[in-house]
Chains A and B, each alone.
Chain A
Amino acid sequence: MYTQSMDTEGPEKARPVSTLEEAELQQRFDARIDGGDFIEAKDWMPENYRKTLLRQISQHAHSEIVGMLPEGNWIGRAPTLKRKAILLAKVQDEGGHGLYLYAAAETLGTSRDQMVDALHSGRAKYSSIFNYPTLSWADIGTIGWLVDGAAIMNQVPICRCSYAPYARAMIRICREESFHQRQGFDSLLVMMRDGTDAQRAMVQDAVNRWWWPCLMMFGPPDDQSPNSAQGMRWGIKRVSNDTLRQKFVDATVDQAKVLGVTLPDPDLRWNEATQHWDFGAIDWDEFWQVVKGDGPLNRERLAARVQAWDDGAWVREAALAHAAKQQVKKEAA
């Protein structure tokens, strides 16, 4: 997901508690988590809780920001003014979501510049899904329908995350994300119902390419997700990868029927016994390849971010210089 960090990076090692006071604080912290309490920024928290959250929230923020690139690619080529306005609003939302999340991560005691540096130097990751290309206009609708659909599935439970600043940011994000999914479906529906054969084929092609990477967004299978237990214990992760993935498949099959597209999985069939849709094997080699930096567009995405940051350096400096000058003027007056 946007938050694959728990699975794609090693666990934060728990440091043994060293003092009596610390043991007491730890006990009180555990009790609050067990009682369903929220933890606020200035509250005491174990170091590895802080680090795990920081990694997850900053990765989530990076994903929103990098996620602007594949869609931004189509703003200038949107087929109508209406679709262009919608896409602009959506990409602006992604930027906003990144900012809510960076702000939440900063409450854990790291600076924005440190996080940006971690991303640009390759130490921090972002969601694997944004390393795939947007080749046609139908990719934009498909991202809204499937990628944002998968994101919503993953993000709704994080609204109940034990770390309150993160939970609050997620509530805002989820409120806005529904528009993203619906506009995507609507855009595809127009092409499937009123479009030409070529347009329908374009939609099917986009779905074929995005379906499997979307299933990978939920992260590795539960039995290969060793950090999940700790995440659950801390109330950071609420629902397991496989459960969320299944929920997504179950919800999407019916939507695909309404749309009139086929999901590219010959093994997809209803299972009467489990009351779920069974689906085929996911290519986890591809997932790990993308996570490790060798997806179709990893290098281009990062290079685009670094260039945007470097190109904006003079603006950041000028704004600070202007602010300092205004301050001097105000003090002199």
Chain B
Amino acid sequence: MNTPNTEWPLWEVFVRSRAGLDHKHCGSLHAADPQMAIQMARDVYTRRQEGASVWVVRSDQIVANDPGDKDMYFDPAEDKVYRHPTFFKLPSEVDQM
């Protein structure tokens, strides 16, 4: 039985489904090195031509906000309704603007 420190590192997989679209996170996998990660990402996540491009990144390299602070973190945008075009009522003649 392997001890946990011999486990292959974890990678996050991002796939662009076709040219013109964003890469989208689609899952994770274990691989020993970047080349293996890319190859396994193809085998695990694009068996049915789901991808035109694949990114992998070591999971421990991802920086994220603290989900516990979610409300506080995203709140400041909530009361700025004027950031949306629908906030402005214009005369009907020019409302297609």
Residues of A within 8 A of B (CB): 40, 42-44, 89, 92-93, 96, 99-100, 103, 106, 111-114, 117, 120, 168-169, 172, 176, 313, 316-317, 319-320, 322-323, 326
Known interface pairs A176-B48, A319-B33, A322-B33. Does A113 touch B27 (Cβ–Cβ under 8 Å)? no
B29 contacts A by Cβ under 8 Å: yes
Contacts of B20 in A (CB 8 A): none
Contact of B36 among A93, A317, A319 (CB under 8 A): A319
A99 and B40 alpha carbons, distance in the complex (Å): 11
Known interface pairs A43-B67, A103-B28, A319-B32. Does A111 touch B7 (Cβ–Cβ under 8 Å)? yes
Interface size class of chain B, counting residues whose CB lies under 8 Å from the partner chain: 20 to 34
Q: Is the CB of A112 within 8 A of B32?
A: no
Which B residues from 28 to 81 make CB contacts under 8 A with A? 28-30, 32-33, 36, 43-44, 47-48, 64, 66-68
Contacts of A326 in B (CB 8 A): 33
Closest-by-CB residue of A relative to B12 is A103
Q: List 21 A-B contacts (CB under 8 A).
A: A40-B67, A42-B64, A42-B66, A96-B44, A100-B44, A103-B27, A106-B28, A111-B7, A113-B2, A113-B3, A113-B4, A113-B6, A113-B7, A120-B1, A169-B27, A172-B26, A176-B47, A316-B2, A319-B32, A319-B36, A323-B33
Residues of B within 8 A of A (CB): 1-4, 6-8, 10, 26-30, 32-33, 36, 43-44, 47-48, 64, 66-68
| Closest A-B pairs by Cβ, 6 of them | A319-B32, A323-B33, A323-B32, A42-B67, A103-B28, A113-B7
Contacts of B4 in A (CB 8 A): 111, 113-114
Q: Is the CB of B2 within 8 A of A100?
A: no
Contacts of B67 in A (CB 8 A): 40, 42-43
Looking at the assembled complex, report how far the CB atom of B97 sits from the nearest CB atom of chain A, in whole angstroms: 37
Looking at the assembled complex, report how far the CB atom of B49 sits from the nearest CB atom of chain A, in whole angstroms: 13
